[in-house]
């Protein structure tokens, strides 16, 4: 029965993640993956980092293999993310079962299966699901090495930690939490004089040595791109902005529907009950969950680096969902429900969470993130029909139209260059997507969401003198403008 239920959760996860996997690639997928995964040489893949840590090396390597086997397509680029996202479901079950029992472990896997936040990143050609998977596996092995110092387990722990770092450097939050958790356990054990310690005597020392070994492996793997790494780190600025609105966005991403009154009541009740259940069943898991769900975000907000995105904290998602699952189990135990009533209760709560998440799930499984592919097809159909006009694209996100282009797309460097090319053409099309000033959250400084002044002049001219021919609405809007304006369009 356990195997059947886990298999059902995995099947649901696969179905939800495959519904929209063929959508066109968006800005970061083209920028962060295609340049490295489809690079001319393996050396380029493992030796370049990009402007802001764009290359997720392990993911790019997996992507190269996928492209070699299946050809270059949206599916082949996203396949490693899908596989690692699906693998997180049994990994979460394996982590939770010895610590919380079978029912919470199965419930947590099911919640992860239809988590909108996880579905989104499991169908994105980037390394975040890999970071989460290896973070989960490193956490699973961490709980094992606390009580047993088996060499094989330590070796696997080192390997998973290294692979997580090679997916993304934000894996650093996991070892940080592990060291602090181990220190807290050591302090608690000393204060209470507990004769049944929650970890063996050499655990903290061995953990530091294991993490040092993983750090050396990571340094060796990143050595070919170390100069880019240092240069990128020097670009990061610490800001003085109020990012409390980001915290609300983060809660809503991890637990869609949290901002509603029913969502706040349901999630809040289950979280409190879940922490009570962990305190009784596994104090180590309680400390670890509280730390990994809060400490990285708090540190990040305290440092206030120039860029902060919800995906950086994907690692905390499975522990938040496990807390909800433990909350259900605490209520069941406290009310001493009979088996039949227990099943009805589980189904009712799962259904309520699914209803809260449904708008986010529907958006992710039906809406494209960005419409590079569709916008290029729209223009190419008209140019191929004899339009004969020049095709322009403006803005920082503009160059990626060329990934889907079968006709020349010009990205003018200056306004004068744009004017000269426009005068030489009988007509023109202009493509614009993800215009940064329009995307700026209210709590972020304008400096980080700005376009080049020359590009801004071109954009303002296009808005004033071109006709909006099509607008594709996704997570990021993509607009197609044309010139000259036909009379019927002007009248419309």
Asked if residue 322 lies in contact with residue 96, where contact means CB atoms within 8 angstroms, the answer is yes
The pLDDT of residue 490: 36
Residue 434 tokens, joined: 């993800």
The 8-class DSSP code of residue 335 comes to T
Split at pLDDT 50, 70, 90, the class of 489 is very low
Long-range pairs, 319-322, Cβ under 8 A, ≥24: 319/288, 319/289, 319/292, 319/293, 320/254, 320/255, 320/271, 320/293, 321/92, 321/108, 321/111, 321/112, 321/115, 322/92, 322/96, 322/100, 322/104, 322/105, 322/108, 322/274, 322/289
Asked if residue 314 lies in contact with residue 128, where contact means CB atoms within 8 angstroms, the answer is yes
Q: What tens digit of pLDDT does each residue of 109-147 get?
A: 999 999 999 999 999 999 999 999 999 999 999 999 988
The pTM score is 0.94
More confident residue, 489 or 74: 74
As a whole number, mean pLDDT of residues 309-326 equals 97
Q: Residue 484, preceding bond cis, omega within 30 degrees?
A: yes
As a whole number, mean pLDDT of residues 313-333 equals 97
* DSSP collapsed to 3 states, 264-325: HHHHHHHHHHHHHHHHHHCHHHHHHHHHHHHHHHHHHHHHCECCCCHHHHHHHHHHHHHHHH
For the chain, the distance separating the N- and C-terminal CA atoms, rounded to the nearest angstrom, is 62
Residue 60 tokens, joined: 């790019």
Site of tokens 């579905």: 119
| CA distances in angstroms from 206 to 186, 194, 216, 291, listed in the order given | 13, 21, 15, 21
Q: Which of 68, 77, 75, 69 is nearest to 31 (CA)?
A: 77
Cα–Cα dist 367/457, whole Å:
31
Percent of residues, the chain, with pLDDT higher than 70: 97
Residue 194 tokens, joined: 């507990």
As a whole number, mean pLDDT of residues 424-447 equals 91
Split at pLDDT 50, 70, 90, the class of 194 is low
Edge-first strand listing for the sheet containing 478-483:
390-394, 428-433, 478-483, 467-472
The pLDDT of residue 41: 94
Percent of residues, the chain, with pLDDT higher than 90: 82
Q: What tens digit of pLDDT does each residue of 352-387 get?
A: 999 999 999 999 999 999 999 999 999 999 887 666
Cα–Cα dist 300/298, whole Å:
5
The pLDDT of residue 359: 96
Split at pLDDT 50, 70, 90, the class of 488 is very low
Q: What tens digit of pLDDT does each residue of 331-352 get?
A: 999 999 999 999 999 999 999 9
The pLDDT of residue 338: 95
Residue 177 tokens, joined: 């939490």
The pLDDT of residue 196: 57
Look over the chain and give the mean of its residue pLDDT values, rounded to a whole number.
93
As a whole number, mean pLDDT of residues 453-470 equals 96
Split at pLDDT 50, 70, 90, the class of 1 is confident
Strands 467-472 and 390-394: unpaired
What phi, psi does 387 have (nearest 5°)? -65, -45
Split at pLDDT 50, 70, 90, the class of 192 is confident
Asked if residue 491 has pLDDT above 50, the reply is no
The pLDDT of residue 195: 55
Asked if residue 492 has pLDDT above 60, the reply is no
Q: Which of 227, 220, 90, 211 is nearest to 157 (CA)?
A: 211
């Amino acid at each position: 029965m356990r195997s059947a239920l886990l298999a059902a959760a995995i099947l649901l996860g696969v179905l939800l993640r495959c519904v929209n996997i063929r959508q066109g690639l968006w800005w970061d997928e083209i920028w962060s993956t295609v340049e490295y995964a489809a690079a001319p040489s393996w050396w380029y893949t493992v030796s370049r980092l990009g402007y802001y840590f764009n290359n997720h090396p392990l993911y790019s390597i997996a992507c190269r293999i996928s492209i070699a086997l299946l050809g270059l397509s949206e599916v082949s680029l996203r396949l490693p993310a899908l596989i690692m996202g699906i693998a997180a479901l049994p990994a979460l079950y394996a982590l939770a079962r010895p610590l919380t029992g079978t029912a919470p472990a199965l419930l947590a896997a099911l919640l992860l299966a239809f988590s909108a936040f996880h579905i989104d990143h499991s169908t994105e050609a980037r390394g975040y699901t890999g970071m989460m998977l290896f973070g989960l596996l490193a956490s699973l092995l961490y709980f094992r090495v606390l009580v047993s110092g088996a060499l094989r387990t330590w070796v696997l722990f080192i390997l998973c930690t290294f692979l997580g770092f090679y997916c993304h450097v934000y894996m650093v939050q996991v070892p940080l939490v592990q060291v602090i958790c181990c220190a807290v356990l050591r302090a608690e054990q000393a204060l209470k004089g507990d004769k049944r310690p929650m970890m063996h005597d050499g655990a903290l020392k061995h953990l530091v040595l294991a993490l040092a070994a993983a750090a050396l492996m990571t340094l060796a793997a990143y050595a070919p791109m170390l100069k880019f790494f240092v240069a990128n780190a020097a670009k990061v600025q610490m800001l003085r902005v109020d990012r409390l609105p980001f915290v609300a966005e983060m809660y809503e991403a991890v637990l869609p529907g949290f901002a509603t009154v029913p969502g706040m009541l349901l999630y809040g009740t289950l979280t409190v009950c879940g922490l009570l259940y962990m305190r009784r069943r596994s104090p180590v898991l309680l400390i670890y969950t509280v730390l990994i769900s809060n400490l990285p975000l708090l540190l990040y907000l305290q440092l206030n680096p120039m860029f902060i995105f919800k995906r950086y904290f994907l690692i905390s998602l499975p522990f938040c969902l496990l807390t909800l699952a433990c909350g259900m189990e605490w209520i069941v135990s406290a009310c001493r429900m009979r088996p039949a009533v227990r099943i009805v209760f589980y189904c009712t709560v799962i259904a309520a969470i699914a209803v809260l998440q449904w708008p986010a799930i529907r958006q992710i499984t039906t809406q494209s993130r960005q419409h590079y592919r569709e916008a290029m097809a729209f223009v190419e159909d008209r140019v191929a029909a004899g339009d004969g006009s020049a095709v322009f694209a403006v803005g920082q996100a503009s160059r990626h139209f060329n990934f889907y282009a079968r006709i020349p797309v010009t990205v003018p460097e200056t306004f004068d260059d744009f004017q000269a090319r426009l005068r030489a053409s009988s007509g023109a099309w202009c493509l614009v997507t993800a215009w940064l000033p329009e995307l700026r959250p209210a709590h972020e400084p304008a400096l980080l969401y700005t376009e080049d002044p020359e590009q801004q002049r071109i954009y303002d001219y296009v808005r004033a003198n071109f006709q909006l021919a099509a607008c594709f609405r996704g997570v990021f809007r993509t607009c197609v403008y044309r010139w000259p304006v036909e009379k019927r369009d002007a009248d419309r």
